[in-house]
Structure 1
Amino acid sequence: MSTPFDDVVTANAAYAEKFDLSGLQAKAARGLALVTCMDSRIDPLGALGLTTGDAKILRNAGGRVTDDTLTALVLAAYLLEVDRVLVMPHTRCKMASVSSDDEVHEAIRQASGVDTRSLEFNTIADQRAALRHDLERIRHHPMLPADLAVAGAIYDVETGQVTLTDD
């Protein structure tokens, strides 16, 4: 019987046959946590010269530092040997192309009839301002280590270039 997931199950079978990562530890081998967007144009490992096991990668729409992200960073900092965090949104982000959550709610309602007003989408009217805000949320979170290194960067989806910000 065919399912919408046959392609990924087949691909996983081939992957499992050659699987050689069973010895990896749960910690972030390079001490890095990366917060980035769920956009499928971003290859976070390749973009930063990382390999499997090097970093904890947290992805969501817009690469925003949400409450869930902060919870994950607390766990990563104290239990998974993360000592630095890079927040990396990207160019041409859909979340930065809309002016408000209300605009997203309305677009979804028109497309599907579904009322999503109980959800917060964290749209980004000013991507740089949002990044500065997100970096400050990490830097001033009372449960994160005071010496946690925190930086921001923008990933360019056209060139693959990562540019650190001054924020």
Structure 2
Amino acid sequence: MTTPTVGEHPHGFDDLVAANKRYAISFPHGFDGIAHQGVLILTCMDSRLEPLEMFGLRVGEAKILRTAGGRLTQPALAAMVMGVHKLKVNRILIVPHTLCAAASSTEAQLRDSISELSGVDAHGFTFGVDPDQMGRLREDVETVRTQPLIGPFAEVGGFLYNVETGLVDRIC
């Protein structure tokens, strides 16, 4: 398998811009940016996950953050603080998922794989992957819960989404 090169898609971004124009016709105007259900979800960038739908939420009801593996990063933590204090977030869900590529290898294995696929040395890059998905989830939840700008102001839970059933299990 080779990595796609720039310009490989025959239409560039044209198909996506055209789809956006269709979307804009029925776009729900007038949202204020507040998380109206008080929810913030940190989950994976995997396209099998639909964070709003999997929790019965709609546009305007939650803030959504996505990272590889649903892993807590410094920018995600900063967004959580902003969400809690500026956007009425009072419930934070951290939701990795089953069959996740970010939980299927170590940093070294992923660096080797990407270096081989791209032909560019990726050994100085940090991806944040870890095969101990449940340990990582517990660690991330504890980090958020003990953050003084979040913990006293929001409930924090760790969940695992099953990509084969669509169900979530509360882990911590």
Pick the aligned partner of 1:67 from 66, 69, 74: 74
* Cα displacement string for residues 82-131 of structure 1 (whole angstroms, at most 9, x for unaligned residues): 01100000000001111x11111111111112222333211122111010
TM-score of the superposed pair, with normalisation by structure 2: 0.90
Give the counterpart letter for 2:70 in structure 1.
Answer: G
Give the counterpart letter for 1:150 in structure 2.
Answer: V
Kindly indicate whether residue 161 of structure 2 is the aligned counterpart of residue 161 of structure 1. no
Runs of 4+ aligned structure 1 residues displaced above 6 Å come to none
Identical counterparts, % of pairs = 42
Pick the aligned partner of 2:135 from 118, 129, 132: 129
What is the aligned partner in structure 2 of residue 13 from structure 1? 21
Secondary structure in structure 2 of the residue aligned to 1:56:
strand
CA positional deviation for 1:145: 4.4
Matches within 5 A, 1:87-106: 87-98=94-105, 100-106=106-112
Give the counterpart letter for 1:5 in structure 2.
Answer: F
- Give the gaps of 5 or more residues in structure 1: none
TM-score of the superposed pair, with normalisation by structure 1: 0.93
Kindly indicate whether residue 117 of structure 2 is the aligned counterpart of residue 111 of structure 1. yes
Q: CA RMSD in A?
A: 1.2
Secondary structure in structure 1 of the residue aligned to 2:64:
strand
CA contact (8 A) 2:144 2:151 kept: no
CA contact (8 A) 1:91 1:155 kept: yes
- Count of matched residue pairs: 163
